[in-house]
Structure 1
Amino acid sequence: MNDHRLTPAHLRLLLASLALVYGLHVLHLPPWVTLLTVGAGVWRYAASVTQVALPKTRWLLPIAAAATLGIIASHDGLFGRNASVSLLAAMMALKLLESHTRRDAMLLVLLAYFFSITGFLFSQSLLVGAYLVLPVVALTATLININHPNGSLPVRFLLRLAGLMLGQSIPIMLALFLLFPRVQGPLWGVPEGAHRGMTGLSDHMSPGSISQLSQSDSVAFRARFNGDMPRTSRLYWRGPVFWHYDGTRWSSGEQVRGVPLQPLQATSEPVSYSVTLEPQNRTWLFMLDAPASIPPNSLLGNDYQLLARQPVLNRVRYEGRSFLQYRMDETLAPGIRAQALQLPRAGNPRTRALGASLAGNQGTDAGIVQGALMLLREQPFRYTLTPPRLGKNAVDEFLFTTRSGFCEHYAGSFVFLMRAAGVPARVVTGYQGGEFNPTGHYLLVRQADAHAWAEVWLQGRGWVRIDPTAAVAPQRIETGLASALPAGEPLPPLMRADLDWLRQLYLRWDAVNNGWNQWVLGYDQQRQMELLSRLAGSRISSQEMIWGLMIGVGCSILAVAAAMLSRGRPMNSLQTSYGRFCRKMARAGVAHQPCEGPLDYGQRAAQALPAQAAEITAITTRYAVLRYGMAPTWQQIEAFRQLVRKFSP
């Protein structure tokens, strides 16, 4: 059977299935590989319906070699995700040109199954998972078609049968997915280029670095609170802390060694929540100010910046507990104080003079802070995404000339001013606020929520958060970015008031996508143990989980077998049609006897119903020939079905 030639009908379904598979990769393949696959498909089908000749094997070998060299040139090598997928695509296209038998087609279908799964190497989103259903069903229908002894079958019948077969496998698939022991880490290593193009906070801050993120609707992370969510103005998600200023940008600087982490003095009850962080190719983990405990496999610096032990290249979920009211570092080590007062040797003379003036006019460090905030409130400062470019003395130009900027302008200039006045200060970046998703009941924090603020050290109080942006645009902290910007400022589409319908639609979609992330992509060993322990009512062991897997798969197999046995002996389409004929005759008073063959039954029925004798004899004779003669074609079975359908005793 596997040596039978492929017919045009076989090829049409095969090519349609391959087109669905290639459609998943069209954006990942070099254009010339896409043209090669399309050309091969057109050539192969044309050869099946016309006299067009296919290339000989001696020509396919140099074409394959040239394609390999082209892939090496396109991807700077033959190894890696992109090059491997392109090579597989090209070789499948060339294999199509030498496919003549059903066995060749079966090999192509099996390769296409694997090729479909490689789509997850580029994206593991819900959309990709949903799309993969199409090529899998089509490939299964193709596999049925090329293995059927009666030639090509109707496409609608094949798709229905393929869907039924795949549907019957769902219970076993679910049992394996839920109960099979999970492997720690991803199934594949992180491919090359997997973290290119990721947006997020940088390891330094300069004018414009955060305002660029404000145009991004990309998700930074999602947070779900165990109780009531704090009000928006308390949602400061702590990230990188910057100490060093070189006159142009802020950075973390050199770590002061030998300074232990001082415990927080909590003045409020902790808030508990979970965070699902998107990949960022950084080691930063974000928690509400200030962390009360840290997740496993993480580190907490002496400036309370939370770090993962390795860069976050895959979506990660962790639990968090934070104190929203606290005292941090009530004593300041000399090395930390020196680091918190560092300024370049020269530059920004007017700001230095203003700092000295504040220090002379105010009696305490707290008074200096309030004096600086009063200056921001009283002067015509403007909060904007499009500030003018700043020159060499950027802080002077911002505070005394342009007075227009985003959060990084205010935070960086405020810390510079505090240090000029002798008040220890540092810049903290992260995210502020977020949007509550009522469908999924979690907080959605986007890159557009990126923010920068200041911390000053005050005697008897330790490090105190000061947000100079709130002095100029308090709406940014209370209600979000969109309400704080002047009319006409560019906003991400999902923050625009006139596109509220789009935002609501997106929130519903994000809730569905988050469920996919949590329960499919994020179904790790921890979640598996939590789910199974919840179902069992107590914590279970690995041995109990394996027993559960065996029992679950066994029950699924028994359920499918019971369903098949409950229907009695499996009947093909021919037998089904004959059974329908027998039921019609039974209603007319001539029931079929269990030991009666079709010819004897037809003779008896014709005598009982002489008016329909010719039709009855034709049906029973045709059935006997088709049932016990040579294997019938699909067209013959369909003709018999129509004959029975039209018969009415």
Structure 2
Amino acid sequence: MNEYLPLATLLRLLAVLTLTLAPHVGHLPPWVSALIAGLIVWRGLTAYRQWRMPGTMVKIALALLAFVGVLVHFDGRLGGQNAGTTLLCVMTALKLLEFKGRRDVMVLIFLMYFMLLTHFLFSQEMWTVAYLFVCVLAVTAVLIECQHRGALSPRITLRKGGIMVLQALPLMVLLFVLFPRIPGPLWGLPEDSAAARSGLPDQMAPGDISRLIESDEVAFRVEFHGPVPPPSARYWRGPVFDHFDGRAWRDSVPTFASGLSSRLELLGEPVSYAIMLESQRGRWLFALDMPAARSLPDDAFIGREGQLLARKPVTERRRYELTSYMQYRLAPELDEHARKRYLRLPPDFNPRTRTLAATLRTHYTDDEALVTAVLRMFHEQPFVYTLRPPPLGRHSVDEFLFDTRRGFCEHYAGAFSFLMRAAGIPARVVTGYQGGQHNVFGDYYVVRQSDAHAWAEVWIENRGWVRVDPTAAVSPQRIEQSIEAALDAAEGLPGHLAARTRLRFYLEARWEWLNGRWNALVLSYGPELQQRFLERLGLDDLRDTILALTVLGTSILAFMGVLTLRQFAPEPVRDAALREWQRLTRRLARAGLPQRPGEGPRDYAARVAAVHPEWAQAIHHITQLYVRMRYLDDPDPAGQNALVDAVRAFKPRSARRRSWIRS
């Protein structure tokens, strides 16, 4: 069969295609990964063994089957991050079925360039950028090789490809810094996107928080401007739930409304800090209880339940600075409508817990005393803090409090809130994060998904909403130290926690610091950060920015053009004698006597002397010096200086001008 590319070039092209698609294996359905691998291997064998390419009907049938397979796998959806990327990967691999001429080669190479962009939909970490930089270099090298009918050495194509990529870097940096940033991600992604990935759920049921413990992903990073609160005080407030349906806690009414400032009294000394928040699927901007209204970002407000909320979903990394007060009074007065809402319980659920609440109320008429009694019960009775509690049935709170007594923070917070409501004390569940790990290299704190936590709030007369963490009564180590300290003695830790040795902890801290710098300087470079940076450069408005971008971009392109043109310039003459002889011939050429092709120095000197006898002595003297220096003797400084002086003294144009004046 007639192949457009040599076999070696084709195999290298298939290897680069494999390199480009490899990171998507973890995101593609297994059958798609197997199909792509089979097509690549089949195309290599086809070229090696000279098999026939499939006919048109076979190609159409395979394309339709792949299309329908993707459509069925994603429940009839082709849009979105996962479905769209899967379809693009399949169609790129199917392009190998009609891979013959130059046009097909160029289409596949440009598809590979485009496929590189899709990796950023799943990860924008440093290792991703480094890997894709290698891929760009490889694809560019293959592009150069495919422009030649004969196979080139990989060393040559990689060198030329590397030069092209490096030449593009200054322009890339300029566009990154100066091109106006668009709020939010560049592409609109549905809810299954990377921009809407892991985070706290919008409801809380047994097992929801404990599943996050398995994740080592960063939720946010915190840099304190001053004294750092102890771990037991670092409660990062998130979603608040006031409705219990018998299984899960959730919001009874939309919480995205402001109006809390009039019911919040801040006390004590403030704590100032900055947060670098990872993208998530909600509008929660996590903060220490309680943030001061005067320190809030422009697009944020404190919601009805005390959460810090953004006006739009957080679809990209963002940095914000806050001032919080660890001591406060929240809603010291509670109207009757709110009281009923925070006391509401579903009927016909958990009768034993209701009986326990009634018994406690007969012994403790004071709300604070009843709360203390319940916490003492959690501490003294054999309750266990565990990641692997047994499953619960319809009466989940009853089964947890009286039967299993094994649970995670959501079990304790939910059961405590139910018990408080049954005893007539308004209560609600708060979720967020607790603690944070100090990074000694960057002097900041990292809060991960594994730090997710749930606690309760009860309303006490004249005190307002008071935080109560029943988990602290069962396992104080979880609050005062870390989840590793709380679980290590009781059971096996999650993989990412159990595998932490001293060396690994050091390496992770160093890598985390690098990631933090990468996020702060690159990934979080949005409209706000760009505006502040450009103001420091004196670029206050869009017109100045566009002008600077145009001037600098044009300068970079012109500089690259000059470097490119220099490749076609003649090589500089390194022989000193030849350089002086060429200077002489250029002067004579301007006088109308150029040296002819193949004409030797002595013949040329004789011809010039015949036309201009007055130059004969000078021409013959220069010719003798040149021939001796270039062909006869070893070059010496004295002879070289004599040749330079003789050429400088020879003025053919001046002599010609004087002869013209005399005539």
Structure 1 gaps of 5+ residues are 611-649
Give the whole-Å Cα distance in 2 for the aligned partners of 1:255 and 1:85.
34
- For the Cα contact (< 8 Å) 1:259–1:333, is it kept in 2? no
1:145–1:603 distance in 2 versus 1, CA, 3 Å = farther
Secondary structure (helix, strand or coil) at the match of 1:268 reads strand
The equivalences for 1:178-217 within 5 A come to 178-191=177-190, 193-194=192-193, 198-217=197-216
State the match for 1:615 in structure 2.
none
- For the Cα contact (< 8 Å) 1:44–1:96, is it kept in 2? yes
Structure 2 gaps of 5+ residues are 586-594, 602-625, 635-663
**Deviations along 1:365-389, whole A, 9 cap, x unmatched?**
3333333333334434333333444
Q: Compute the displacement of 1:35 (Å).
A: 5.2
State the match for 1:622 in structure 2.
none
Give the whole-Å Cα distance in 2 for the aligned partners of 1:460 and 1:266.
15
Secondary structure (helix, strand or coil) at the match of 1:340 reads helix
Between 158-167 and 388-397, report the one with greater CA deviation. 388-397
- For the Cα contact (< 8 Å) 2:195–2:280, is it kept in 1? no
- Matched residue type, 2:164: M
- For the Cα contact (< 8 Å) 1:205–1:249, is it kept in 2? yes
- Matched residue type, 1:443: Y
State the match for 1:453 in structure 2.
455
**Deviations along 1:414-451, whole A, 9 cap, x unmatched?**
33333343332222221111112223433221222122
Secondary structure (helix, strand or coil) at the match of 2:462 reads coil
**Deviations along 1:160-209, whole A, 9 cap, x unmatched?**
12111211221111111100111222221104632699444333334443
Secondary structure (helix, strand or coil) at the match of 1:140 reads helix
- Matched residue type, 1:570: Q
The answer to whether residue 533 in structure 2 is matched with residue 531 in structure 1 is yes
Secondary structure (helix, strand or coil) at the match of 1:436 reads strand
Indicate which of 556, 567, 570 corresponds to 1:570: 567
- For the Cα contact (< 8 Å) 1:215–1:491, is it kept in 2? no
Give the whole-Å Cα distance in 1 for the aligned partners of 2:402 and 2:73.
52
Give the whole-Å Cα distance in 2 for the aligned partners of 1:464 and 1:372.
15
Give the whole-Å Cα distance in 1 for the aligned partners of 2:485 and 2:51.
67
Secondary structure (helix, strand or coil) at the match of 1:202 reads coil
State the match for 2:290 in structure 1.
290
State the match for 2:217 in structure 1.
218
1:212–1:99 distance in 2 versus 1, CA, 3 Å = closer
Give the whole-Å Cα distance in 1 for the aligned partners of 2:63 and 2:442.
50
State the match for 1:548 in structure 2.
548
1:109–1:598 distance in 2 versus 1, CA, 3 Å = farther
Give the whole-Å Cα distance in 2 for the aligned partners of 1:41 and 1:246.
53
Between 92-101 and 502-511, report the one with greater CA deviation. 92-101
**Deviations along 1:373-420, whole A, 9 cap, x unmatched?**
333344343333334444555444544554443322332333333334
The equivalences for 1:130-279 within 5 A come to 130-148=130-148, 151-191=150-190, 193-194=192-193, 198-254=197-253, 261=260, 262-279=262-279
Q: Compute the displacement of 1:310 (Å).
A: 4.6
Percent identity among equivalent residues? 46
Secondary structure (helix, strand or coil) at the match of 2:501 reads helix
- For the Cα contact (< 8 Å) 2:195–2:316, is it kept in 1? no
1:349–1:34 distance in 2 versus 1, CA, 3 Å = closer
- For the Cα contact (< 8 Å) 1:145–1:158, is it kept in 2? yes
Secondary structure (helix, strand or coil) at the match of 1:23 reads helix
- For the Cα contact (< 8 Å) 1:126–1:516, is it kept in 2? yes
Give the whole-Å Cα distance in 1 for the aligned partners of 2:390 and 2:398.
13
1:31–1:376 distance in 2 versus 1, CA, 3 Å = closer
- For the Cα contact (< 8 Å) 2:236–2:287, is it kept in 1? yes
Secondary structure (helix, strand or coil) at the match of 1:495 reads helix
The answer to whether residue 522 in structure 2 is matched with residue 502 in structure 1 is no
- For the Cα contact (< 8 Å) 1:222–1:443, is it kept in 2? yes
RMSD: 3.9
Q: Compute the displacement of 1:475 (Å).
A: 1.8
1:355–1:10 distance in 2 versus 1, CA, 3 Å = closer
Q: TM-score, normalised by structure 2?
A: 0.78
The equivalences for 1:54-453 within 5 A come to 54-55=53-54, 60-61=59-60, 63-77=62-76, 79-80=78-79, 81-148=81-148, 151-191=150-190, 193-194=192-193, 198-254=197-253, 261=260, 262-293=262-293, 294-346=296-348, 348-349=350-351, 351-362=353-364, 364-390=366-392, 392-453=394-455
Q: Compute the displacement of 1:326 (Å).
A: 0.8
1:456–1:4 distance in 2 versus 1, CA, 3 Å = closer
**Deviations along 1:625-645, whole A, 9 cap, x unmatched?**
xxxxxxxxxxxxxxxxxxxxx
- Matched residue type, 1:508: R
State the match for 2:617 in structure 1.
none
Q: Compute the displacement of 1:217 (Å).
A: 2.1
- Matched residue type, 2:290: A
1:87–1:264 distance in 2 versus 1, CA, 3 Å = closer
1:52–1:375 distance in 2 versus 1, CA, 3 Å = closer
Give the whole-Å Cα distance in 2 for the aligned partners of 1:71 and 1:296.
43
Q: TM-score, normalised by structure 1?
A: 0.79
1:559–1:268 distance in 2 versus 1, CA, 3 Å = farther
**Deviations along 1:346-380, whole A, 9 cap, x unmatched?**
55555445444544444633333333333334434
- For the Cα contact (< 8 Å) 2:255–2:305, is it kept in 1? no
1:244–1:458 distance in 2 versus 1, CA, 3 Å = same
State the match for 1:462 in structure 2.
464
State the match for 1:631 in structure 2.
none
State the match for 1:521 in structure 2.
523
1:226–1:541 distance in 2 versus 1, CA, 3 Å = farther
Q: Compute the displacement of 1:473 (Å).
A: 2.1
Indicate which of 475, 478, 481 corresponds to 1:479: 481
1:51–1:204 distance in 2 versus 1, CA, 3 Å = closer
- Matched residue type, 1:110: F
Give the whole-Å Cα distance in 2 for the aligned partners of 1:197 and 1:423.
36
1:55–1:320 distance in 2 versus 1, CA, 3 Å = same
The structure that has the greater radius of gyration is 2
- For the Cα contact (< 8 Å) 2:70–2:78, is it kept in 1? no
1:94–1:337 distance in 2 versus 1, CA, 3 Å = closer
**Deviations along 1:122-169, whole A, 9 cap, x unmatched?**
433333322111221122112222335x84332102101211121122
- For the Cα contact (< 8 Å) 2:184–2:315, is it kept in 1? no
1:397–1:67 distance in 2 versus 1, CA, 3 Å = closer
- For the Cα contact (< 8 Å) 2:301–2:308, is it kept in 1? yes
Give the whole-Å Cα distance in 2 for the aligned partners of 1:512 and 1:50.
49
1:598–1:33 distance in 2 versus 1, CA, 3 Å = farther
1:367–1:131 distance in 2 versus 1, CA, 3 Å = same
1:230–1:535 distance in 2 versus 1, CA, 3 Å = farther
Q: Compute the displacement of 1:289 (Å).
A: 0.9
- For the Cα contact (< 8 Å) 2:386–2:408, is it kept in 1? yes
1:592–1:494 distance in 2 versus 1, CA, 3 Å = farther
- Matched residue type, 2:118: T
- For the Cα contact (< 8 Å) 1:224–1:274, is it kept in 2? yes
Q: Compute the displacement of 1:532 (Å).
A: 1.8
Q: Compute the displacement of 1:38 (Å).
A: 4.7
Give the whole-Å Cα distance in 1 for the aligned partners of 2:233 and 2:172.
44
- For the Cα contact (< 8 Å) 1:493–1:499, is it kept in 2? no
Between 416-425 and 78-87, report the one with greater CA deviation. 78-87
Give the whole-Å Cα distance in 1 for the aligned partners of 2:326 and 2:191.
40
